[in-house]
Structure 1
Amino acid sequence: MSPLAALARAYDRLAEAGEVPAQGYSQQKIAYLIPLLADGQPAGPPVDLREQEGRKTRPRLIAVPQPTKRTSGIAPNFLWDKTAYVLGVTAGEGKRTAKEHAAFIARHEEWLAGTQDEGLTALLRFLAWWRPERFAELGWPEEMVDQNLVFALESERLDGVHLHDRPAARALWTDLSSGAEGGEAVCLVTGEPGAVARLHPAIKGVWGGQSSGGSIVSFNLDAFTSYGHEQGANAPVSEAAAFAYTAALNHFLETGSTHRIQIGDASTVFWAEGPEAGEAEDVFSSFMGVDEKAEARKVGDILARIREGRPLGEVLGDLQGVRFYVLGLAPNASRLSVRFYLEDDFGVIAARYLRHLQRMRIEPPPKDEAPSMWRMLIETATLRKSENIQPNLAGEWMRAILSDTPYPLTLLASLIMRLRADGDVNALRVAILKSVLIRNFGKTFKGEVPVALDTEFQETGYLLGRLFAVYEHIQTAALGRNLNATIKDKFYGSASAQPRKVFRHLDAGAAPHLSKIGKQRPGQRIALEKQLGGIMDLMEPGGDPFPAHLPDRQQGLFALGYYHQRNDFFRKHTSSETGHEAGEDTQ
């Protein structure tokens, strides 16, 4: 099923539950209401509809007639709009304000001609009486300028009935919005014949997108069209289906929605079908969500039960069989790009994600054994700033995890680059590297990529990483831990990429350090020399143990070997001091 068809189906369920507006309406941010008397005079000052959110106020979301999709033209909305259209007042230069206000009056005189409805007649009388200068004369609030407004009869205002809610207004809007501008055709979403939507409603809430919204389907240049068709006729979608999929998507993208997460530049929405849909959505949210202790505990409990050998079906219970959808969107000027789309059984999706976490198992583990996608992505970024995350990486990685396909090689390259640049070989970075190595290259290695230190694992990169950690330990054992810079600070990047240039120098530098250790602690020198010899014995017998270059996958193993060996030293050091084993304080 296409993402648009899945969203249209989701709309039907949401509409039954009263969570989305009816056909032809949409949730819009409305800040003020103008109360009217039957004669069209204001019943009092505008009513502030904004809601308090902390120290700030925000407009209230109200279902109003679907807004006109504006590009550069002037097009008023039905019975509501911003102050430039409704009142002829704006805070800017207002070069078009007079024309916008005149258009609002003219179109409503046309739309409401002949109406006998008390509320609609009151609006016509108000528009005939109103002049923009009355705004200042009446002392209406400056905060109202450029906000969206609605109208209501004062007699109905306290009951929450706006002009656009009156039966006559709803009937009129149904007639006005049912015109088939794009002709008739078979809808590509539903497969049913219907009136083709010339323009699809705007989709708002995508991070980094235009405030006016964006489109998944649009044709605004001749190069995009075919066979002389215009706009939506190039990919016919019925007006009903266009409204349904955009209404559902806008609902999922709303601020505070429990159906959205931000993964890099991809605004990701997810939803489910079935009796246990809510529980499936909660579990997925805990998989993907922000770093919260409750969510981490939930995922940790699931992982613990799986590691105990309990079947996934038993762990997930009734969630297997729930149909699940994940859609990632990113802005592209006025359009929206689909970064990824996945539709599958929730049990299958959950199993794939849990396999990803299993691949990331490492000893000692990161503080958060089930980190959020954002927390993992930030490890790939320069200075750990979210704006430095590679644009396509988030979507490609998420798609790979949820579809159980090879991870993007840009992930491996980005992590290797960060390690060489800052030398921060922390647990989370190494865990991510390990997951990439297993998923993409696992079958090419001489054995299984280890979770903890494996003295028998003979991959060149892993052995060199272990060797580098031994040289570093020799240095600190001889000179103390309070050095301004260790060999890791100076040589990690070059040692992991071009071992031949560095390791012979490190070996020569280790000799005087071993001599110093031998004078003070002969037993430790013997142990360190045995470790060096044991690692060297596993390297290419009879050949050069130090290759000129290491490819990225071997550099990843270098980081893993270094991490394992270094933490083994730390564990033994802590054990000797405290009398029990302890792991390194990792990130």
Structure 2
Amino acid sequence: MILSSLAQYYQRLADMPDAITGLARVPSYGFSDEKISYVLVLSRDGQLLDVQNHMDTSGKKPQPKLVSVPRPEKRTFGIKSNFLWDKTAYVLGVEGNKDKATAQQNPWIVAEKNFDAFKQLHLAALGDVDDAGLKALKVFLQNWHPEHFNQPPCSTEMIDTNLVFKLDGETQFLHQGTAAKNLWARMVAPEEIAVNGQCLLTGESLPIARLHPSIKGGYLTDYGGQSGGCSIVSFNKESFTSFGKEKGGNAPVSEWATFAYTTALNYLLRRKIDKDHSQGNCLSVGDSSTVFWAVASDGDIAHEEELVFANLLIPPSVDDGQETTQIAPLLIKIAQGRPLNEFAPNINPETRFFVLGLTPNVARLSIRYWLDTTFGYLANNICEHYHDLLINPLPWREPPSIWRLLIQTVAHRKNADGSIKKPEYKHVPPQLAGELMRAIITGQSYPRMLLAQLIQRIRSDGDISGIRVAMIKAIIQRDFRKGLIQEEVPMSLDLNITHIAYRLGRLFAAIERIQEAALGRDLNSTVTDKYYGTASTVPFSVFPRLLSGSQNHLTKLRKDKPGYAVNLKKDLAEIIAGIENSFPRHLSVEEQGRFAIGYYHQKQSYFESSKKTDAVADESNESTNN
């Protein structure tokens, strides 16, 4: 189902040229979009005249441009040459020196076997061609020796990059010429010895692929994937085969279908969601990448729905100008749990939508999750996610993205001067990132390890931030909606809730407020700094002492602010009245979460009261001055 959906998506992409360039969005059969860094310009007599830089310099760092070239060989092991393009090790016979001791003096070494493979392949293939460019390449390979790399126009910047050829005076690359395309078509045609069978994806009797092309993406190698690419379908051990079949024969997929689904998936993985979301069908979070695509009667409608889906998962920053202006009303209504047709009337909730979650595992890709559903179903799940996060007062200006949520699980690290470092996503537990994404788009319960991670971070760094508390509230509230627990979580301060952990959180906030009112805010170490971790896990061991200390602070406060002392004492009495018997000896992880929510609600109520008091005082001063 996954592979056939990808193959169908490839066909739609092939039939739908790019609106800006007018070119095909995906390469035709037998070709692949690869990163090309340099172009070797040959004279008609086979001399290397120039090396042209083919980098994209529009960003901070030059990047190779994508070029549609003859599909690469799958190099799981051994030496195999590509046709009319390849790395410098094959094209020129030089590769980077990996010996650190000598690399500075000799940055490259000769890769003779690789060059011989490239040379023999092309001399055999170009034996009787009648094309000026291909003839020039043939002469070049006959005369070239890797030692020539020391001479201009070659440079060390070229080492280990991908190269293509061009004939001097021509605008197209050699592999783009008619003669080269015809020659390549014959080379990729199924051999007579190829086994025909019924393709699992198309149902037709076609030549079956022995090996499937690789799935490539920068994130793959970052999280344990093989540098040469990964596979969804592969068989490399006898235990994976059956009835004496070899390689792809164990899961018969035709040559065309394997090309189609791998090309479509590589296309999706390459289209990462960028800052302004103008393009993007891939969101990488931790070790998982989520690709998605819509199927609609109109390509523009499908693109619009993909854009909305991307914005739902990763809301644009408030600094993103026009994009934020367009999407902000939508996000506000989503966060309020409003139905889709209320804020996006042009989008059909019944549009078919696909979501695929992938995780690299050395040479293979693991399927983390797969949804073949409707846009309305996904939008509803994301709406529920934002609704579960709601807490008063809201600790954000716009609904938080998945990245912003995950960063809350990262420990605070300090610089040499003692300041807090900016958190990095690489420190987010990889498995946690993928499981959170799955929970959001499927509507399942949030991962339990997320709650434990948040509680641990609060206890270790003392940052009881609103967004952390909102995540804790969302985890517990979703479990309540699904009937896994019996008691709901309030969105704002609720004086009627008798849950012991929630009450204890409120009580701790009241004790903190009494200390602050009596001693001021400029303390080296507050009651929260010293006792929050203990109070939220083993209340019995610490609350009696905290209450005793609060009485001393209230005695001091009565001398300076008697009215305020009376109000705070009433708060203590109201909270304690709802706590039956003695303080519990231990709180579970869920109860520690409720403790944090109660603490946040009570603390915010004091903050709001202070703001109102300050506002009244300001109005009184203005009246007096007038």
Please report the TM-score for the alignment, with normalisation by the length of structure 1: 0.92
Match of 1:193 among 172, 180, 205: 205
- Helix, strand or coil: the match of 1:226? coil
Structure 2 CA distance for aligned equivalents of residues 444 and 24 of structure 1: 52
CA separation of 1:83 and 1:290: change in aligned 2, threshold 3 A:
farther
* Partner amino acid, structure 2, of 1:65: P
**After superposition, where does 1:320-339 map in structure 2 within 5 Å?**
320-339=349-368
Instruction: Summarize deviations over 1:154-207 as a string: whole Å, max 9, x none.
Output: 24x22xx22211222212212221225762232233333322222211211141
Structure 1 range deviating more: 267-276 or 16-25: 267-276
The runs of 5 or more residues in structure 1 that have no matched partner are 582-587
Structure 2 CA distance for aligned equivalents of residues 133 and 519 of structure 1: 91
Instruction: Summarize deviations over 1:302-341 as a string: whole Å, max 9, x none.
Output: 2444688964223222322222222222222222222222
Q: CA deviation at 1:361?
A: 0.7
1:164 corresponds to 2:149:
no
Match of 1:462 among 486, 502, 507: 502
**After superposition, where does 1:526-565 map in structure 2 within 5 Å?**
526-540=566-580, 543-544=581-582, 546-565=583-602
Structure 2 CA distance for aligned equivalents of residues 82 and 296 of structure 1: 43
Q: CA deviation at 1:264?
A: 2.0
Q: CA deviation at 1:486?
A: 1.3
Structure 1 range deviating more: 220-229 or 413-422: 220-229
**After superposition, where does 1:302-341 map in structure 2 within 5 Å?**
302-305=330-333, 311-319=339-347, 320-341=349-370
**After superposition, where does 1:444-523 map in structure 2 within 5 Å?**
448-523=488-563
Residue aligning to 1:125:
139
- Helix, strand or coil: the match of 1:202? coil
Structure 1 range deviating more: 325-334 or 401-410: 325-334
Structure 2 CA distance for aligned equivalents of residues 444 and 327 of structure 1: 28
Residue aligning to 2:282:
260
The runs of 5 or more residues in structure 2 that have no matched partner are 18-23, 99-107, 273-278, 413-422, 619-626
Q: CA deviation at 1:255?
A: 6.2
Structure 2 CA distance for aligned equivalents of residues 189 and 536 of structure 1: 66
**After superposition, where does 1:173-184 map in structure 2 within 5 Å?**
173-179=184-190, 183-184=195-196
* Partner amino acid, structure 1, of 2:606: F
Q: Is contact 1:206-1:329 (8 Å) kept?
A: no
Structure 2 CA distance for aligned equivalents of residues 547 and 503 of structure 1: 10
Q: CA deviation at 1:60?
A: 1.9
Q: Is contact 1:120-1:163 (8 Å) kept?
A: yes
Residue aligning to 1:8:
7
Q: Is contact 1:379-1:429 (8 Å) kept?
A: yes
- Helix, strand or coil: the match of 2:25? coil
CA separation of 1:444 and 1:79: change in aligned 2, threshold 3 A:
closer
- The percent identity for this pair of structures is 44
- Helix, strand or coil: the match of 1:64? strand
CA separation of 1:302 and 1:57: change in aligned 2, threshold 3 A:
closer
- Helix, strand or coil: the match of 1:46? strand
CA separation of 1:493 and 1:162: change in aligned 2, threshold 3 A:
same
Residue aligning to 1:105:
119
CA separation of 1:360 and 1:525: change in aligned 2, threshold 3 A:
same
Instruction: Summarize deviations over 1:228-279 as a string: whole Å, max 9, x none.
Output: 3222222222221111111111112226552222212212222211121111
Instruction: Summarize deviations over 1:23-82 as a string: whole Å, max 9, x none.
Output: 11011111222233443334x212222221345322221100000011220111011112
Structure 2 CA distance for aligned equivalents of residues 458 and 111 of structure 1: 82
Q: CA deviation at 1:567?
A: 0.8
1:371 corresponds to 2:400:
yes
Q: Is contact 2:335-2:399 (8 Å) kept?
A: no
Residue aligning to 1:35:
41
Structure 1 range deviating more: 24-33 or 178-187: 178-187
Q: Is contact 2:411-2:461 (8 Å) kept?
A: no
1:402 corresponds to 2:441:
yes
* Partner amino acid, structure 2, of 1:578: A
Please report the TM-score for the alignment, with normalisation by the length of structure 2: 0.86
Q: CA deviation at 1:504?
A: 1.3
Structure 2 CA distance for aligned equivalents of residues 81 and 393 of structure 1: 38
Q: What RMSD over aligned residues (CA atoms) do the two structures have, in Å?
A: 2.3
Count matched residues.
573
CA separation of 1:551 and 1:138: change in aligned 2, threshold 3 A:
closer
Match of 1:428 among 467, 475, 497: 467
1:418 corresponds to 2:454:
no
Structure 2 CA distance for aligned equivalents of residues 389 and 193 of structure 1: 47
Structure 1 range deviating more: 567-576 or 135-144: 135-144
